[in-house]
Structure 1
């Protein structure tokens, strides 16, 4: 087995071209662990054209699950399911004032939908729903909204680095709220 790795620099166009090169030029048997939803989507036309499998894309986006992509073999649950289960778990351990912070992009919308399903199934409502910019989260606005809601817990949906900085800002503001994270990249 030979493993061939190409770097797309987290650029969607380059990801699609890398997929094409690996499939058409290198004649790979399968691709695995692609990163990013739009990046994985850019590869799908090449998978479908040549019948090559993409195994374990590192994304839980619903778009890679529904409709079923015949050449994509997901191993991660959907973001929606992860967020729904996180909310259900928090509610079962007695956290009734749950805030949800979500990035304002397709990932955030996808996961937020799952969180709201979790609240809906439990006939509950979030204590606060706080949008956050992916590139420059405004912690000076986000943290006070969480504190004002008297959140016992926070479901924080965002990039790994933004979540870490958000938790630091939350702790600096004196909040002891439990934080559950749903992240799609570093």
Structure 2
């Protein structure tokens, strides 16, 4: 039996669940939390459970949940079940920061996972850094998380700059030297616009016109008409979620034509469902392995799990699935009595992790796990083709 101030402090930090003890998490005090032998591994997530971007988060969460379910069914990680606590931020950065504080200080999460969105994730960074809580696989490709080294952030996906570089390089090879850009009027979209400008300048591609899009979808028709007047043969979309298909529909209704290139945070399934036959020819940059067929071990595994659930699999499912696998491997490497610091060291020690068709590389000096990008297109059969 523990005695004295140490025992009192440890008992105060233990968070009791409905049937089992949740992971012990030190709030803002030191020492950093250590998982107790009888505890769950409690992981926190702030994401869009409501609003127009919620469908993206749902796909991401489903893919991750399938991985965690598999792991837990096999006995968990060093005998502990992995459980994710998700709070809704509705794409509001202030709510994200508040959620992260609550997850760390009140819920006692061991680490954070798949925070979704650029402005929202950036709002959480000061809290993460202050509390020294690892963030694994944020669902954003912003350069703000990649241009400088952050010991507590581990990126599993390629960045938006990588995606845009691939798109502009492809267009230059095709001889296309004029593009338009429609971008969300926030840090995500503006970062995408800056990446297009940089990539275009390196290849003598001219920006014919640009149009900011409001997150709530207001003014889409005017933005579409502004771009249509410039008649660019290609429009690059630094957008996410429903706003993407809404803008494409508005532009097509203007009477102008262009080929659209979207970023990976667009759900191909949702885009096809929203646009139907009008989605044909839309190109989408992807940062994950092709989720259909049997081309990779990951695709076979994910397809089987999705089939059991009766869910049509997509790229966002794959990203959630891959992200969860990386987190689980990091927890395995952190040892039977993990701390946040041992999780950081465990992830850095992965070096070159081949998940079966997708390789993640981490080290003490590199937390950007991949720069893999490939281009896909929606075919006549309304299927995504490589």
Q: TM above 0.5, one fold?
A: yes
**Deviation of the 1:185 alpha carbon:** 7.4
1:179 aligned to which of 260, 267, 275? 260
Offset from partner CA, 1:58-78 (integer Å, 9 cap, x none): 112222223322101112322
**Deviation of the 1:102 alpha carbon:** 2.0
Unaligned stretches of 5+ residues in structure 2: 1-81, 268-386
> Displaced runs of 4+ in structure 1, greater than 4 A?
183-186
Counterpart check, 1:25 vs 2:101: no
Q: Supply the distance in 2 between the matched residues of 1:151 and 1:38 (Cα, whole angstroms).
A: 29
Q: Supply the distance in 1 between the matched residues of 2:100 and 2:112 (Cα, whole angstroms).
A: 8
Q: Supply the distance in 2 between the matched residues of 1:38 and 1:99 (Cα, whole angstroms).
A: 23
**Deviation of the 1:152 alpha carbon:** 1.5
Aligned residues: 186
1:61 aligned to which of 138, 142, 157? 142
Counterpart check, 1:141 vs 2:222: yes
Counterpart check, 1:162 vs 2:264: no
Q: Are the counterparts in 2 of residues 85 and 118 from structure 1 also a CA contact under 8 Å?
A: no
Q: Supply the distance in 2 between the matched residues of 1:148 and 1:17 (Cα, whole angstroms).
A: 43
Q: Are the counterparts in 2 of residues 23 and 46 from structure 1 also a CA contact under 8 Å?
A: no
Counterpart check, 1:90 vs 2:90: no
Q: Secondary structure at the match of 1:134?
A: coil
Offset from partner CA, 1:39-71 (integer Å, 9 cap, x none): 223333343334321111111222222332210
Q: Are the counterparts in 2 of residues 158 and 183 from structure 1 also a CA contact under 8 Å?
A: no
Rg comparison, structure with higher value = 2
Q: Supply the distance in 1 between the matched residues of 2:239 and 2:83 (Cα, whole angstroms).
A: 34
2:126 aligned to which of 37, 41, 45? 45
Distance 1:42 1:93, change over 3 A: same
Offset from partner CA, 1:94-117 (integer Å, 9 cap, x none): 333321122332222211111011
Q: CA RMSD in A?
A: 2.5
Unaligned stretches of 5+ residues in structure 1: none
* TM-score, scaled to structure 2: 0.43
Counterpart check, 1:99 vs 2:171: no
Q: Secondary structure at the match of 1:99?
A: strand
Aligned partner of 1:151 in structure 2 is 232
Q: Supply the distance in 1 between the matched residues of 2:246 and 2:90 (Cα, whole angstroms).
A: 23
Q: Supply the distance in 1 between the matched residues of 2:213 and 2:102 (Cα, whole angstroms).
A: 36
Q: Are the counterparts in 2 of residues 157 and 183 from structure 1 also a CA contact under 8 Å?
A: no
Q: Are the counterparts in 2 of residues 82 and 114 from structure 1 also a CA contact under 8 Å?
A: no
2:95 aligned to which of 4, 9, 14? 14
* TM-score, scaled to structure 1: 0.83
**Deviation of the 1:22 alpha carbon:** 2.4
Q: Are the counterparts in 1 of residues 128 and 152 from structure 2 also a CA contact under 8 Å?
A: yes
